[in-house]
């Protein structure tokens, strides 16, 4: 049956290899089980319910990818998008988490339509590669600021906006220890470095009496507090257009980049570097985001950590199915997730930020019409606490820089239209 479903022989793999690959991918991305409830919980959402929603969204998304596209790619609520959901849409803009879930649902519906009608390719081709790298880097810097704030390393300062926290307190010390541990383990290519770092800091904090211990296993908490609680009608507010677009935009490029990177590493692309079943993969991805919003979590997306499973030999959707099963089993570890303090998840956020900002190395810094929009995009996100604002300022800066320097041929209709819409949004609609 497995051979018929996943064509293991044709992909030169076997059941044992796929199971090992699935376990490897799961260990590399399981930190989301602890980080996502911590981030979304800041909105007032029930952390236990978010934990269950995270497990189920990851399981459903990974299973859809495995069965529909037969790719060894796992899904879960995306990093960066969960921070945008919490710190920008809810805490900064003042919307309820129910409306924010409605915005996630609408963006997933649009993504699903784009995948079905193959408009996604046109959108991706219209956005310059440097701007895509800038968006990823900006999200990374945004995560870094949140991580340093959660750890108590960066604090508010009325004179300078931000300042250095008290480094003699347990929180900052544990966070710095966790970050160094993750970096060292990753440098030594230890599988699950981020997860090990989070759990190690948690265990140490509990052992020393700085954090309470809630247990390891129990029956899953109720999902009722978040299940089907999204407010779709409230998300149809005109001021939420850029929010829906930001969810959509980041998800489209995040997914595309992950699919390209992982399938290329697995040798699943054709001679021209194209992904044969890109349409199926995107349908699975957008459907997973729809389910996630209904369950009660931010946008579900493909995980680049799937590359760890590919390195272990994963070549088919069976790898993703194994990940899905492991996320379902994780439902019974809610007490452990509840025992993880914010300063233990902060190192994970900071490490993800390191990975996301690395794309800036590919920018042509000698071309000021490229360097300026990239810098504006990356810095506006953390400084305005908004991914949407970063995208808007980046697009506007890119378009004006190219237009006013006589390089209008480097622009396209999509860039111009989007820039005009962003000017209208920032100038006349509520930010």
In order of 146, 274, 324, the CA distances from 97 in angstroms are 18, 38, 26
Please tell me the distance from the alpha carbon of residue 32 to that of residue 337, in angstroms, as a whole number: 10
Please tell me the distance from the alpha carbon of residue 315 to that of residue 320, in angstroms, as a whole number: 10
pLDDT of residue 365: 93
Q: Both ends of the chain: CA-CA distance in Å?
A: 53
pLDDT of residue 281: 81
Tokens of 196: 């090990």
DSSP 107-148: HHHHHHHHHHHT-HHHHHHHS-HHHHHHHHHHHHHHHHHHHH
pLDDT of residue 376: 94
DSSP 3-state of 352: helix
Instruction: Give the pLDDT of the chain (431 residues) as one tens digit per residue.
Output: 777 788 878 778 888 888 888 888 888 788 899 889 989 999 999 999 999 999 999 999 999 999 998 888 899 998 878 988 998 889 888 889 999 999 999 988 888 888 777 676 666 667 788 887 888 788 788 888 888 988 899 988 888 888 998 999 999 999 999 999 999 999 998 877 888 888 899 999 999 999 888 877 888 889 999 999 998 888 887 777 778 877 887 777 667 667 766 777 677 766 655 667 777 888 888 889 899 999 999 989 888 778 778 877 888 889 999 999 999 999 998 888 778 888 888 888 888 888 878 878 888 899 999 999 999 999 998 888 777 788 889 989 999 999 999 998 888 887 888 888 788 877 765 54
pLDDT of residue 431: 44
pLDDT of residue 271: 63
Please tell me the distance from the alpha carbon of residue 254 to that of residue 353, in angstroms, as a whole number: 14
């Amino acid at each position: 049956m497995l051979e018929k479903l996943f064509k293991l022989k044709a992909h030169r793999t076997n059941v044992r290899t796929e199971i090992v690959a699935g376990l490897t991918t799961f260990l590399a991305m399981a930190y989301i089980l602890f980080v996502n409830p911590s981030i979304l919980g800041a909105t007032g959402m029930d952390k236990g319910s978010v934990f269950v929603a995270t497990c189920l969204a990851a399981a459903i998304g990974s299973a859809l990818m495995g069965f529909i596209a037969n790719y060894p790619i796992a899904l879960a609520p995306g990093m960066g998008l969960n921070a945008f959901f919490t710190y920008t849409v809810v805490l900064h803009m003042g919307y309820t988490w129910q409306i924010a879930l409605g915005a996630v649902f609408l963006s997933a519906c649009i993504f699903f339509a784009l995948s079905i009608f193959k408009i996604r390719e046109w959108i991706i081709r219209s956005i310059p590669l440097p701007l895509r790298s800038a968006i990823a880097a900006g999200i990374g810097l945004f995560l870094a600021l949140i991580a340093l704030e959660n750890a108590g390393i960066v604090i508010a300062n009325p004179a300078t906006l931000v300042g250095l926290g008290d480094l003699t307190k347990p929180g900052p010390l544990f966070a710095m220890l966790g970050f160094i541990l993750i970096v060292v383990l990753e440098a030594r290519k230890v599988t699950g470095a981020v997860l090990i770092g989070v759990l190690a800091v948690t265990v140490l904090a509990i052992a020393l009496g700085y954090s309470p211990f809630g247990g390891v296993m129990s029956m899953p908490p109720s999902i009722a507090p978040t299940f089907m609680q999204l407010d779709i009608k409230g998300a149809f507010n005109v001021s939420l257009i850029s929010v829906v677009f930001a969810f959509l935009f980041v998800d489209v490029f995040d997914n595309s980049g992950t699919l390209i990177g992982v399938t290329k590493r697995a040798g699943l692309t054709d001679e021209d570097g194209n992904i044969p079943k890109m349409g199926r993969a995107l349908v699975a991805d957008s459907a997973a985001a729809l389910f996630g919003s209904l369950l009660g979590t931010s946008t579900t997306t493909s995980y680049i950590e799937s590359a760890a499973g590919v390195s272990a030999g994963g070549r088919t959707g069976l790898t993703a199915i194994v990940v899905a099963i492991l996320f379902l089993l994780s439902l019974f570890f809610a007490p452990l997730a509840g025992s993880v303090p914010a300063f233990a998840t902060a190192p994970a956020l900071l490490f993800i930020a390191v990975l996301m900002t690395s794309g800036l190395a590919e920018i042509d810094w000698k071309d000021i019409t490229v360097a300026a929009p990239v810098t504006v995009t990356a810095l506006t996100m953390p400084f305005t606490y908004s991914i949407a604002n970063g995208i808007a300022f980046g697009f506007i800066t890119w378009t004006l820089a190219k237009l006013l320097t006589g390089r209008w041929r480097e622009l396209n209709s999509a860039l111009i239209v989007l820039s005009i819409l962003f000017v209208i949004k920032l100038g006349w609609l509520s930010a």
